[in-house]
Structure 1
Amino acid sequence: MVVPTSSTSARPEVLVVGAGPSGLMAALSLTRNNMRVRIIEKSPTHRIGQRGAGITPRSQELLKALGVIDKIMGEAIPTPMLKMHDLHGGLHSGKIFEITPYTESTSSIPYPNIMCLGQNNLERILRNELEEAYGVTVELGTELVTLTQHADYVSTKILKNGVTENIDYSWVIGADGARGIIRKQLGIPFTGETSNVDNICVGDVIIEGLDHQFWHMWGDAATTLISLRPTETPPLFNFIISGQDVDREGFISTEGLLQRFLAEKLSAPELRFGALPWISTYRPNIRMVDTMGTGRVHLVGGKLESSTPSDITDRPTIDSAHVHSFTGAQGMNTGIQDSFSLGWRLALVHHGLASPSLLATYGEERLPVIKEMLSQTTNLLNKNLRGQAKPSGWRREGNLLQLGINCRWSSIVVDQSIEDSHLQDVKDVNPIDSYGRTDGDMTVRAGDRAPDVSGLRLLHAKFPTSRPRTDPHRLTDVLNGTHHVVVLFSSDIERCTATLALLASYPEDVIRSAVIVRDGEILPPGSQDPDFIFEDAEEYAYATYDLENQCDVIVIRPDGILGGVLKDDKGLMQYFDRILNGSQTR
């Protein structure tokens, strides 16, 4: 039965296919940017299982911009310390060490630690936000059957409850997995390899009597490796079991076999092994696309790949743009960042404020990051799950926090702190180092994550921030994933007035302005008022943004990336000409 759908102005403009973290983040980003979204999920039920539980500091910053970080931090737990045990040695402890050292917040890094929250619970929080704040509900048991691109729309055939719907959308976002229909219909290859690290079983198990303050590990990958990570919902533990004598198919097909295996290998009679809410076999695939989309259809996301579903396993968990090893808390976070990077671009193009060519820069910026992510996670896989793996291989710090991820090479960033900021020269000065600053250079450049700043005193605000007005503020309190924020480090009234007048000539829904004055300074009243005025009360702002070559303006994109490091209005115009494609109103 085919039901034609009538045209209506309230019809969704974007179809998001797949309701994992990447799809949900894409839907949230787009709805916040005033786009009507429909999100569908082929599975008849919401996913269960911890899966990719690590949320990196960079993703936490983006989740703050979406307004959900407090809910997430209210449930998430820090990455626990690792306690090593001998096989058959019970709970007698060997070495204890930190997987990721716990760090206090700083001015520039508000969320310094990888936090653990099961993917099922993260998805629940994102779904609830999408429904409660925007009235968008994930439609389960709803499958995209075909799509056809046209010049100004995408026609789709969708199967829901046995009824086929023919609906046109302006855009389609594929978060439906490497095995999903969208990548295949676009004809985008998925190149890479399948790792020869196999015989791995992953899942969740109830264990009574095991200390929930530690991540426990027994043995090594040469024979048997057992990893039991505590979750935010005791007494549930997430497990990874690998090795030559692991009967992963038997664990799935034979009830109670895994629990008996654990009891025998751990030799800890005080432990009681209960239900398996989720279990799956796993073999790593290391693959990625060579383009993030074409025309009006774009891809986001990456998860680990599992295989061999059965009665108590979930379907394979892979997303559309990349599949990877589960090690390192990188893949899900990379997918979250994909979605955020695409969302603001798509909204500008859809609303007629930017050329469709802006969408090409999505892949230009993200593909090098994905490539490096695959390299990082594959190296970790080889350290952790091959032969005599060392405990130190499980450390998660440094660039795995993803704070150094950048796009300094992007064709749409403008950096006047480099004398000659033509694109090729910038690439020569800053060759692609997508995971960040391996040379130790901490200079702020266009294309970097915008460092946060704390200790700001709010003097003036035209719009709400994420804190009460009288509280000390952070720079990220004015970032909401929808606007470019232009920040002037100056109290010179003529300088500020001229720049603010220029900004006023652009569409008002695109840009917000902020002026940061030094401690004790004021910004005299002028003909143009910024949206926000802050005093650098604790002197962090001018220290953090100690810009070179007389630069005193930064442009922070909706995804928290520094789009511009600028010294004059010519540079500002150059930046927005690249983004808005002549959308100036003057």
Structure 2
Amino acid sequence: MPVDEPSVLIVGAGPSGLVLALILLQCGISVRIIDKQTTYSVGSRGAAIQPRTLELYAILGILSDLLDVGELLRPTLAKYNHGDIDPTTFVKVVDIVEPTPDLPYPNAYYISQVRHEAVLRSHLRKLSCDVELGSELRNLEQFPDRVVAHIERTDSDGNKVEEKAEFRWLVGTDGARSVVRKQIDVEYLGETRAQYIALGDIIIEEGVDPQFWHSWDGSAKSIIFRPSGVNDKSFMFFYTGRSEELSNTTITREELVNDFREITGRQDVKFGSAPWLSNYRPNIRMVDKMQVGRVFLAGDAAHCHSLTGGQGLNSGVHDSFNLGWKLALVHHGRAAQTLLRTYDEERLRVIGYMLRFTTTLHNQSFERLQAGKKMEDSSWDRGGDLQMLGVNYSGSSIILQETSAVAGINNAYSRPVGSGPASVEASFRAPDASGLVAAGSAASPSTTLFSIFNVTTHSVLLFGRDADCSAQISDVIARIPSGIARAVWLLPQGETGAGTSRCELVLEDRTGSAYGGYGTPVEKLTIVIVRPDGVVGAVVPDIDGVERYFANLVRSNL
């Protein structure tokens, strides 16, 4: 491979590809990201960013910029009868929850995909990486030490230019029609439903309140408007029940407006332009493997589900977080290539559950609409597991999971029954904690665990009182593999951490949120190993557990 050639080619510049590029760049890996489109996508599309994804973006260091272009998702659905201007009923789609130190982002945000991707690209540019538009992967060849990509680029004069380039790794994030997936001959298992839905974005100048979702159902045709925000006149629409002869054609703005007036009996609503219109059929599909040699799949290239539940884009981002740190360790020679097998092992279980979960929601919703029945209020519930805070990798071969209550848990989307909020368990998300200050400092700026976590290294959190644990902690620090992890000693309130110079970061838990949120005792040592994707890899009481976790991870003798 030429020395100046980027190490990883990412094919597809949606959120999954952009996030993976950011993670790899932060890990010191050179990246090239291409997209066959000649212009950036328009339309709101996957706009609900779930709480767990917000946490991952906080760890990546980009959350504040995304929140600046989004709004808290406060969906209350207004339901109407034909001809009524005022709603007949209101349905709360999700409750708004107050933040806590361990859960600072408990509510979903609405961020249109256009703005979402623009923020991600802006952070890529800060790392000297730009999306190459008009560049299409035509085919690829795999070898034991590299991947050869044949790319067709469109130059500034509109001419097609053939290019052959070599990379150590290639990742397909190029959507449901993935060229990468077809090139590595991976099947896309599942079904395409014979349920036709017209959807897109349309401007509503007046007549519909952007504080609410709006629904007209209960007949052969139904329509739903989802606002882009309380200060935005753009609405995404979902329209079912078009006549059979039109079901395979993309709806026009004029057809939408005319059909809306027929369905609702409303003449007072004033429409503007429709920047994005599409014809949609639910695809419920996933691959049976996400890796073939040096080529990987993520996002819609690996799994596709109905629009219900707002899980698709979020799941693709989670794919990238899971793959990114593993690829970085292997690429830098800090772990054996066998580590990459756990990408399949961990993500396929989660995606399989997600598809079953969202398909059940879809059936509850759209089958009633197609039958001309009103949707039950309970069908609109978008809280609970959909927030993705319980997504876990229970049973993973690289997670040190020794508690029988959680080992082998079947539900990949929620915490085991009986676990309280003040506890931390291997395979689940690592909670946040606030009010952490430099040990021994009378007046120090506080920080949070999410600010300390990062996508490049493991964080080894050490809980325990100074006098009880100092000697043990020094031994633990000495055994942490160089370049893979860093130690953070979290002292209880009032402790100074005297004599702990070998620990990279020593913090006082001045508000008690770390000890409370993690459920750890003060009197004895507890070690929580947090992976770069914010997942707890192990909860152990001593140095032996630390050695076993990292030895299994890197396949080497510590």
Q: Distance in 2 between matches of 1:66 and 1:399?
A: 23
User: SS of the residue aligned with 1:361?
Assistant: helix
Q: Which moved more, 1:334-343 or 1:393-402?
A: 393-402
Q: 1:496 to 1:181 in 2, by over 3 A?
A: farther
| Deviation of the 1:495 alpha carbon | 3.4
Cα pair 1:224 1:246 within 8 Å, conserved: no
| Deviation of the 1:85 alpha carbon | 3.1
User: SS of the residue aligned with 1:378?
Assistant: helix
2:121 to 127, 133, 137: 127
Note the 1:485-524 alignment, pairs <5 A.
485-492=459-466, 495-524=469-498
Specify the alignment match of 2:157 in structure 1. Answer: none
| Deviation of the 1:408 alpha carbon | 1.9
Specify the alignment match of 2:355 in structure 1. Answer: 374
Note the 1:275-294 alignment, pairs <5 A.
275-294=273-292
Q: When the two structures are aligned, how many residues end up with a matched partner? A: 542
Question: Once the two structures are superposed, what CA deviation does each residue of 1:382-402 show, in whole Å capped at 9, x if it has no partner?
Answer: 122122321321211111110
Question: Once the two structures are superposed, what CA deviation does each residue of 1:305-335 show, in whole Å capped at 9, x if it has no partner?
Answer: xxxxxxxxxxxxxx21101001111111011
| Deviation of the 1:171 alpha carbon | 0.2
Residue 481 in structure 1 maps to residue 455 in structure 2: yes
Specify the alignment match of 1:559 in structure 2. Answer: 533
Residue 15 in structure 1 maps to residue 5 in structure 2: no
Q: Distance in 1 between matches of 2:401 and 2:247?
A: 55
| Deviation of the 1:46 alpha carbon | 0.8
Q: Runs of 5+ in structure 2 lacking a partner?
A: 155-159
Note the 1:65-464 alignment, pairs <5 A.
65-131=59-125, 133-161=126-154, 162-196=160-194, 198-209=195-206, 210-220=208-218, 223-232=220-229, 234-243=232-241, 245=243, 249=247, 252=250, 254=252, 256-301=254-299, 319-387=300-368, 388=373, 389-416=375-402, 418=403, 429-437=407-415, 439-442=417-420, 443-459=423-439
Code of the aligned partner of 1:485: S
Question: Once the two structures are superposed, what CA deviation does each residue of 1:145-170 show, in whole Å capped at 9, x if it has no partner?
Answer: 11111111111111102111111100
TM-score normalised by the chain length of structure 2: 0.92
Code of the aligned partner of 2:341: A
User: SS of the residue aligned with 1:376?
Assistant: helix
Q: 1:250 to 1:359 in 2, by over 3 A?
A: closer
Q: Distance in 2 between matches of 1:582 and 1:496?
A: 27
User: SS of the residue aligned with 1:121?
Assistant: helix
Q: Distance in 1 between matches of 2:525 and 2:475?
A: 19
Specify the alignment match of 1:310 in structure 2. Answer: none
Q: Which moved more, 1:505-514 or 1:442-451?
A: 505-514
Residue 534 in structure 1 maps to residue 507 in structure 2: yes
Q: Distance in 2 between matches of 1:296 and 1:207?
A: 48
Q: Which moved more, 1:142-151 or 1:547-556?
A: 547-556
Q: Distance in 2 between matches of 1:14 and 1:512?
A: 26
Say what the alpha-carbon RMSD is for the aligned residues: 2.2
| Deviation of the 1:43 alpha carbon | 1.0
Q: 1:505 to 1:567 in 2, by over 3 A?
A: closer
Cα pair 2:35 2:131 within 8 Å, conserved: yes
| Deviation of the 1:258 alpha carbon | 1.0
User: SS of the residue aligned with 2:301?
Assistant: coil
Code of the aligned partner of 1:353: R
| Deviation of the 1:244 alpha carbon | 5.5
User: SS of the residue aligned with 1:71?
Assistant: helix
Question: Once the two structures are superposed, what CA deviation does each residue of 1:446-472 show, in whole Å capped at 9, x if it has no partner?
Answer: 1111111223223389xxxxxxx9333
Q: Distance in 2 between matches of 1:521 and 1:459?
A: 7
Percent of paired sites with the same residue: 37
Q: 1:149 to 1:583 in 2, by over 3 A?
A: farther
User: SS of the residue aligned with 2:136?
Assistant: strand
User: SS of the residue aligned with 1:542?
Assistant: helix
Q: Distance in 2 between matches of 1:536 and 1:246?
A: 63
| Deviation of the 1:551 alpha carbon | 6.2
Q: 1:550 to 1:283 in 2, by over 3 A?
A: farther
Cα pair 1:81 1:96 within 8 Å, conserved: no
| Deviation of the 1:82 alpha carbon | 2.5
Q: 1:545 to 1:254 in 2, by over 3 A?
A: closer
Specify the alignment match of 2:56 in structure 1. Answer: 62
| Deviation of the 1:507 alpha carbon | 4.6
Cα pair 1:171 1:296 within 8 Å, conserved: yes
| Deviation of the 1:87 alpha carbon | 4.1
Cα pair 1:65 1:479 within 8 Å, conserved: yes
Cα pair 1:223 1:245 within 8 Å, conserved: no
Q: Distance in 2 between matches of 1:172 and 1:297?
A: 5
Q: Runs of 5+ in structure 1 lacking a partner?
A: 1-6, 302-318, 419-424, 462-468
Code of the aligned partner of 1:437: R
Q: Distance in 1 between matches of 2:410 and 2:481?
A: 33
User: SS of the residue aligned with 1:252?
Assistant: coil
Code of the aligned partner of 1:580: V
Code of the aligned partner of 2:509: D
User: SS of the residue aligned with 1:353?
Assistant: coil
User: SS of the residue aligned with 2:413?
Assistant: coil
Q: Distance in 2 between matches of 1:14 and 1:81?
A: 40
| Deviation of the 1:582 alpha carbon | 1.9
Q: Distance in 1 between matches of 2:127 and 2:459?
A: 24
Specify the alignment match of 1:572 in structure 2. Answer: 546
Q: Distance in 2 between matches of 1:547 and 1:436?
A: 22
Code of the aligned partner of 2:199: V
User: SS of the residue aligned with 1:329?
Assistant: coil
Q: Distance in 2 between matches of 1:217 and 1:246?
A: 22
TM-score normalised by the chain length of structure 1: 0.88
User: SS of the residue aligned with 1:123?
Assistant: helix
